[in-house]
Structure 1
Amino acid sequence: MSILLVALGFVLLVVGGEFLVRSSVALSFRLSISKMVIGLTVVSFATSAPELLVSLNAALSGSPAIAINNVVGSNIANIGLVLGITALIGTIMVDKSFYTFNWPVMMLFSIALYYFLSNDNKLTTIEGVILFGALIVFILMLIKRSKGVDVDDDEVDPTLAKVSYFKIVLWLIIGGLALYFGSDWLVTGAVDIAGKLGVSEAVISVSMIAVGTSVPELAASVIAVAKKEKAISLGNLIGSNIFNIGSVLGLTSIIKDIPVTDDQILSRDIFWMLIFAAVLLPMIFIPKRFQFNKLEGMMLVGAYGLFIFLVFIGAK
């Protein structure tokens, strides 16, 4: 039954996330918000909804380890699994903004998260306000930097501009309900599985739940490369990691302090997150400059496999 709950939770999170993205974009068009701003802000927030609901649900239901490791694990999965598999399928070109803006900001958010957690073994309301405030500053800077630049906004479907208010509200209701029940079933099932396997909730959340909440990004990236419709943007994956820390953990800790209840979060998992983030910079210069190809893809997927192996070995 627990496995069924987890499976249904995954499905509802994917469905709910899709409906929320579509309704948010359609509403933004109705409010005459530019396509560029929709792509940089509305879509990013909406695609972080599964992580946000899972983390918030976990924190409020007494499973704070899931809230923290869901984000830490998702950030690792976004680089090791999503970027790695995508690079194995097709070459990913890297533009200048990656190492002049996106990567440094991601490292700052990652280091700030480590500092806040290691300082007093919890993420407090004030720290959540700082993270979320920094995210707002990042978004404003992102929009400012994008002015006068051709922005790839293929992810924003122009046909959504013609959607009626009735359908927008209906999509919002469907998306909201799917995300609510999906996050509830996923957390409930994952906690039960962790108990039956004799491993901690942190282990399940950094592996199973993290991969589950990264499935939409993985599917979108693989499909985009396979169809050769457009080059997958490394900036989008980096932005996802920034949003996970700034919005998911930021908003969750504003509502309720998130204590560190599993030692492995600070002694192992968060260091893996920092290493995966840091290693991206040298990888864009070696062996070929400004691109990720099959070699980098194999290295990232291999490293992710090693991480998951060590997580479960350490749990025994």
Structure 2
Amino acid sequence: MAFAVAALLAGFIILIWSADRFVMGAAATAKNLGMSPMLIGLTVVSLGTSAPEMLVSGFAAYTDAGGLAIGNALGSNIANIGLVLGATALIAPLPVKTGLMRKELPLLLIISIGAGLILMDQRLGLVDSLLLISALVVTLYLFSRFQKSADPEEIEHEEEELPDLALKPALFWLILGLVLLAGSSRLLVWGATEIAVAMGVSDLVIGLTIVAIGTSLPELAASVASALKGHHDIAIGNVVGSNIFNLLAVMSLPGLIQPIDFEATVLWRDYGAMMLFTLSLLAFAYILERGKINRLEGSMLLAGYSGYLGLLYYMASA
């Protein structure tokens, strides 16, 4: 128990430090390579911070825990919007730029609906995974097209906020931060899981709460660090991009290993909750605040996520 507590604290400290280095490296790399902060948030940061989810899904598939593998991807998306974006908005209100509203957010909605259609038969097989990977390739192509059509004046303004760091040290901190982010998140998950087991919490509750939250800690740390540094595009792009990669890359991995059948509960409860949070994000961006997520919206997202955790606990203990 004492070792688990020490691992939890050490993982938290490393996570905070590595998130700062990672965001610095990502932002500087964007400047050196001529990429906008939004694009690198949607790709490099998002795919990198999705590494823990990929590890958990792959391991779950090998151990015949198919429900956990799919639930991890869906649960992480819920945590990304409810916990990560909610907490980040509480720290610093986030403006949602027009480009994100016209391109990436509609793309996230389309991919979320498409993933639901694939999961409708409560089975994830090889063909389903190949469809998701094909959509991932198309998405990466679209991201590159979005970058080319971005407003030059907007890109120039964004570049003024980026740190002045040469390419080699920027890549060094980017890679080192990414490795430490993934490693520290796994250390945190292990420590928290050991503590939960010692306290008599069920495996189901651990998998749906601690694992989902733990694998979203890199996104939380990176988004909060980005917001504090004023890189709002990386903070929002990280959440949107991570959710896209979770559905297309993370969720496709288990089906490539072996076909997975899962309970209907995963579909109506977890996928349904993910869609509610996704639609809430779009509502905040398009309707309520007209392109801005303030502290009120952040509080609403956190309250919704707390309600989802309460539902999980109620159903697990019923």
Structure 2 length normalisation: TM-score? 0.77
Equivalent residues in 2 for 1:151-170 (5 A)?
151=155, 152=158, 159=165, 161-162=167-168
Distance apart, 1:144 and its partner CA: 1.0
Distance apart, 1:191 and its partner CA: 9.4
Tell me the equivalent position of 2:227: 225
Equivalent residues in 2 for 1:71-220 (5 A)?
71-119=73-121, 121-149=122-150, 150-151=154-155, 152=158, 159=165, 161-162=167-168, 175=179, 186=189, 190=193, 197=200, 199-201=202-204, 203-220=205-222
| Distance change in 2, residues 1:122/1:183 (3 Å) | farther
Tell me the equivalent position of 1:64: 66
Tell me the equivalent position of 2:253: 251
CA distance in 2 between counterparts of 1:180 and 1:105 reads: 30
Query: 1:80-104 CA distances to partner (integer Å, 9 max, x unpaired)?
Result: 1111111122221112233322222
Distance apart, 1:157 and its partner CA: 6.9
| Distance change in 2, residues 1:295/1:7 (3 Å) | same
Tell me the equivalent position of 2:282: 281
Sequence identity (%): 32
The aligned amino acid for 1:118 is M
Distance apart, 1:162 and its partner CA: 2.3
CA distance in 2 between counterparts of 1:155 and 1:255 reads: 43
Answering whether residue 272 of structure 2 is matched by residue 266 of structure 1, we say no
CA distance in 1 between counterparts of 2:98 and 2:170 reads: 40
Aligned length: 304
Tell me the equivalent position of 1:300: 301
| Distance change in 2, residues 1:57/1:156 (3 Å) | farther
- Name the stretch that deviates more: 271-280 or 145-154: 145-154
| Distance change in 2, residues 1:266/1:194 (3 Å) | farther
The aligned amino acid for 1:74 is S
Distance apart, 1:117 and its partner CA: 2.0
5+ residue gaps, structure 1: none
| Distance change in 2, residues 1:145/1:224 (3 Å) | closer
- Within the candidate set 50, 53, 56, 1:51 is matched to 53
CA distance in 2 between counterparts of 1:58 and 1:113 reads: 19
RMSD across aligned positions (CA): 4.0
